[in-house]
């Protein structure tokens, strides 16, 4: 339990470090997650009641992801045979020989590897600990509480026009960023947490419907549940969804709504397939969730609709960046420029003139392909896709605790869509949260039976 609590603290506090988008929090999170991994490993070795890990069920996608990280390490190594020509040109300019590498900036590639490895460790710890249902529920609810506190902090900053994030000086803004510097990054974080809370509300409502024998019994049970965990889930959802809307992030809000729609479809399909107890009540549970979302949207969605009407769905500068990134990819098609080196490569391809600092592609897929090369990027996406498919299969095959798999699938939809128009997953706080939720979903999607 201690390892689970420490993991939640690391993930829950990561937004306050400017979204953990700096070398110091990268190092701190890596060290903290490493220590938690050791603690969790020791706990699993001495425990005799922990469910079987069944790592064989997720071995293929994990191996694919590890292979990509190994390739990223190779990119950073001094391999003159595959070195980028810029190393030779630089050496000639300096009048001395330089050990070149595939990566145009090995130090940046090493930092990127550190971030990916930290997220992978969070996923692995969440999976191993989350095989225990009680621990999985503790970590999911703990994450929601921590995310809710971050949302309250963001709302306070907006309400009082605070120009600091903790002790960091930042410009006061009318859009919510909480501990992040960018409202789009904050939208991804609070969107993921809101979907998790929505899933728990749906599950809690379905439980009330299954257990009720009459209208009077339904009201009594509803009152009991709202006074307990369901009430906490409702408070978390309301707070998180309001925070999401106050970010006014077009991509983040629309991606979250798409994730919610997928959840509606998933629960509908599963209930129709099983036709078991409570199957007829799924519609009411979903409607209640959607009504709740609509009500909160009506209260706090003015900023989003105003920004959407004024700016549309895409900015011309962003489209120009996509075209320039595709030009860069064509020059680094097979072996890449080095994981995490977009900011080093892009200036040679940008065409617009202005004061914009464009150190991200605003499309995680394009940036991944540029850094790793097409083959390795496809392997990485395949590995992640297989993990999501395992959770989706588990949602339909497991007889209980479907909330973990549902949350993982809904969050994956949000992340996949928003990653096409922004760089939220390159902000470590979001990557760690996604890894945690996906790890829990995987853990409760794999049966303990051989």
The C-alpha atoms of residue 249 and residue 236 are separated, in whole angstroms, by: 20
165 forms bridges with which residues in the sheet?
Answer: 168
Q: How many helices (H) and strands (E) does the chain have?
A: 18, 2
Whether 82 shows a pLDDT value over 80: the answer reads no
* 279-290 residues labelled b (16+ CB within 10 A) or e (exposed): bebbeebbeebe
Q: 170-188 burial, b for 16+ CB within 10 Å, e for fewer?
A: beeeebbbbbbbbbbbbbb
Task: Decide if 394 is inside a domain.
Answer: yes
pLDDT at 248: 86
215: domain range?
A: 2-317+357-443
Flag whether 352 is in a domain: no
Considering the chain, what percentage of its residues have pLDDT values greater than 70?
A: 79
Q: Is residue 336 part of a domain?
A: no
Average pLDDT over residues 426-436: 96
Would 271 be classed as within a structural domain?
A: yes
Q: Which residue has the higher pLDDT, 150 or 306?
A: 150
Q: H or E segment at 165?
A: strand 164-165
Number of domains in the chain: 1
- Mean pLDDT along residues 161-177: 84
pLDDT of residue 148: 95
Q: Closest Cα to residue 382, out of 319, 343, 372, 339?
A: 372
In a domain, 199, yes or no: yes
pLDDT in tens, 269-303: 877 665 554 444 555 555 555 655 565 555 555 55
Mean pLDDT across the chain, nearest whole number?
84
Answer whether residue 346 is part of any domain.
no
Q: List the beta strands (DSSP E) in 166-233.
A: 168-169
**Does a structural domain hold residue 322?**
no
Arithmetic mean of pLDDT, 16-28: 92
Q: Is residue 339 in some structural domain?
A: no
Q: At what angle do helices 229-247 and 302-311 cross, to 10 degrees?
A: 30
Give the Cα separation of 191 and 198 in Å (integer): 10
Residue 121, pLDDT > 60, answer yes
């Amino acid at each position: 339990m201690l390892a689970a609590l420490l993991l939640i603290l690391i993930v829950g506090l990561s937004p306050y470090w400017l979204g953990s988008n700096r070398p110091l929090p990268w190092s701190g999170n890596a060290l903290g997650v490493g220590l938690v991994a050791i603690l969790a490993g020791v706990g699993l070795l001495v425990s005799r009641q922990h469910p079987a890990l069944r790592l064989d069920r997720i071995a293929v996608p994990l191996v694919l992801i590890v292979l990509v990280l190994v390739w990223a390490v190779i990119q950073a190594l001094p391999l003159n045979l595959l070195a980028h020509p810029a190393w030779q040109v630089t050496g000639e300019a300096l009048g001395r020989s330089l050990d070149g590498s595939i990566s145009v900036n090995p130090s940046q590639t090493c930092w990127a590897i550190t971030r990916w490895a930290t997220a992978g460790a969070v996923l692995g710890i969440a999976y191993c600990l989350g095989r225990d249902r009680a621990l999985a529920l503790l970590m999911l609810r703990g994450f929601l509480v921590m995310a809710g506190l971050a949302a309250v902090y963001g709302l306070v900053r907006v309400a009082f026009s605070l120009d600091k994030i903790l002790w960091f000086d930042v410009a006061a803004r009318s859009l919510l960023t909480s501990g992040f510097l960018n409202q789009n990054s904050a939208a991804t974080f609070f969107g993921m947490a809101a979907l998790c809370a929505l899933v728990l509300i749906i599950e809690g409502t379905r439980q009330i419907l299954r257990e009720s024998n009459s209208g009077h019994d339904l009201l009594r049970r509803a009152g009991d549940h709202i006074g307990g965990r369901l009430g906490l889930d409702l408070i978390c959802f309301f707070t998180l969804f309001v925070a999401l809307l106050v970010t006014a992030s077009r991509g983040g809000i629309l991606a979250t709504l798409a994730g919610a729609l997928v959840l509606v479809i998933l629960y509908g399909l599963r209930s129709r397939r099983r036709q078991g107890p409570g199957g007829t009540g799924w519609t009411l549970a979903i409607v209640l969730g959607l009504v709740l979302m609509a009500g909160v949207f009506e209260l706090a969605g003015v900023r989003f609709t105003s920004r959407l009407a004024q700016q549309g769905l895409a900015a011309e500068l962003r489209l120009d960046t996509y075209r320039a990134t595709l030009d860069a990819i064509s020059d680094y098609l097979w072996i890449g420029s080095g994981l995490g080196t977009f900011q080093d490569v892009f200036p040679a391809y940008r065409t617009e003139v202005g004061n914009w600092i464009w150190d991200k592609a605003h499309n995680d897929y394009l940036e991944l392909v540029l850094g790793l090369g097409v083959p390795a990027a496809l392997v990485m996406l395949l590995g992640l896709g297989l993990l999501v498919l395992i959770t989706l299969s588990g949602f339909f095959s497991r007889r209980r605790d479907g909330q973990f798999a549902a949350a993982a699938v809904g969050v994956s939809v949000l992340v996949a869509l928003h990653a096409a128009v922004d760089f939220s997953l390159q902000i470590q706080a979001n990557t760690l949260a996604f890894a945690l939720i996906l790890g829990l979903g995987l853990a409760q999607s794999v049966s303990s039976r051989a």
